[in-house]
Structure 1
Amino acid sequence: MIRDARAGERRIAPRGKVWLALGGLLLAGCAGQAAGPAASWYAEHNGVAPAGTRIYVCHAFGCALKTPFDFTPAQMRRLKAILAKGRASPEAERAAIAEAIAWSERTIGPVVGSDKDVGGLDLHNAGVPGQMDCIDEATNTTSVLSVAARAGYLAHHKVASPVARGFFLDGRYPHATAVVRETKSGAAFAVDSWPHANGIAPEIMPLEAWFAASG
């Protein structure tokens, strides 16, 4: 930014305008991704889409390892009961989604070895079985929610494609999140499991706020 002393106003230098325009295009592009289905995400990020009640749990960073996990009938009933708490409103359902994802991580963790997964940026764990980066987390959260949606457990949201933010040049580390979209309003929300350790409820916020975050 530069200041125009004569007008008492700040003007954006041409180079700054270019970066702001680029940032706006990237933001619009990511927001557009959230409108689409999640199927293309799996193909582009080394994942495997869920089939029936089976998901393929990504771990070791970037879906380097994929371990199948089958939800039992009893576990599906538990998932349904948790999400049923959110029938009253979209806000209530988002709270139930957070609880359901935390429960699913605690359920899946001992089976695939991710029960000791740490949260946040931990590059020293890259390639370690059971440890997850944001690509793993976004994929796994999307898979669990997709199973729930196909079973008819979601009343107010659809599962959208995960999205990414940050590209180093804007000073932010690349990061990805799962996304749900309200069926009536169309509003999109990030469901971000990456900042926290295994079994802790994910952060859920409007997607615009997630894109604007600096972390």
Structure 2
Amino acid sequence: MNFRILTVLAPLAVAACGPSPTIGLLEDHVEHDIRSNFVVCSNYQCTARYNVALTDAEWRQVRAFFDPPATDAAAERRQIALAIGQIERIVGPKTGTTGDRPGAAILTTRTRGQMDCLDESHNTTVYLHLLERNRLLTWHKVGQPIIRGHVIDRWFHNTATVTDTATGIQWVIDSWFGANGEPADVVTADVWLDGWEPEKYKSRTDR
């Protein structure tokens, strides 16, 4: 594992998740990412970037979620959610993000090892491409991150996506609402764009 870039942070960081997804950053590397060398972001807004590798044994842990292969798209989405959580558990010790908490504080001085939704949408998109590249996805195609929110009514929020190849329905794979290693949340993009949040997040008292 090679620690690539760490920019010195200002004393107070704002985790607004930015007005645009990290598509430009993804385009710089995602086509070349393989499980023995891929880019992971953390510390809010991809301030820290790591080159990470998964061993054969670690990748077998990920592949296990797709054995046997899904018999329909809904089953595959459940596999994807679990696999994303497993990759996070493996990557955490390599990047110092094992303790990443659900969501992200709007104003904070503690960003090291934490991820906002820009980091999460970037990383989950990378992980999805690794799954797709290794032919573990039968029913879905990986898409680009999408964004919701307007300054006047809610915070910006970004997420990774996949599209059901049979129906054309876009689904979000959102790992931001849970702590590191929890299964990603999966919901249709239309519902997510309307401001959806999981009940586990709505009930938090430390938001």
Higher helix share: 1
Structure 1 residue 156 and structure 2 residue 139: aligned?
yes
The answer for the alignment partner of 2:128 in structure 1 is 145
Structure-1-length-normalised TM-score: 0.75
The answer for the alignment partner of 1:205 in structure 2 is 187
Superposition deviation, residue 185 in structure 1: 1.1
| Percent of residue pairs identical | 31
Give matches, 1:22-101, under 5 Å: 41-43=22-24, 48-49=29-30, 51-53=33-35, 54-101=37-84
Structure 1 residue 175 and structure 2 residue 157: aligned?
yes
For residues 127 and 194 of structure 1, the distance between their equivalents in structure 2, rounded to whole angstroms, comes to 17
For residues 130 and 109 of structure 1, the distance between their equivalents in structure 2, rounded to whole angstroms, comes to 9
Residues 173-200 of structure 1: CA deviation (Å, up to 9, x unaligned): 0000000111111111011111111111
The answer for the alignment partner of 1:113 in structure 2 is 96
Superposition deviation, residue 72 in structure 1: 1.3
Residues 153-185 of structure 1: CA deviation (Å, up to 9, x unaligned): 11111110010000212x110000000111111
Uncovered stretches (5+) of structure 2, i.e. residues with no partner: 1-20, 198-207
For residues 210 and 58 of structure 1, the distance between their equivalents in structure 2, rounded to whole angstroms, comes to 23
Structure 1 segments of 4+ aligned residues over 6 angstroms from their partners: none
Seen in structure 2, the aligned counterparts of structure 1 residues 195 and 104 have a Cα distance that, compared at 3 Å, is same
For residues 135 and 45 of structure 1, the distance between their equivalents in structure 2, rounded to whole angstroms, comes to 11
CA contact (8 A) 1:134 1:175 kept: yes
CA contact (8 A) 2:61 2:86 kept: no
The answer for the alignment partner of 2:106 in structure 1 is 123
For residues 85 and 47 of structure 1, the distance between their equivalents in structure 2, rounded to whole angstroms, comes to 34
Residues 48-67 of structure 1: CA deviation (Å, up to 9, x unaligned): 42522122110011111101
The answer for the alignment partner of 2:117 in structure 1 is 134
Q: Which has the higher contact order (CA 8 A, sep 6+)?
A: 2
Uncovered stretches (5+) of structure 1, i.e. residues with no partner: 1-39
Alpha-carbon RMSD across the aligned residues, in angstroms, is 2.1
For residues 132 and 180 of structure 1, the distance between their equivalents in structure 2, rounded to whole angstroms, comes to 21
Residues 105-154 of structure 1: CA deviation (Å, up to 9, x unaligned): 11111110000001113134467221100010011011011011011111
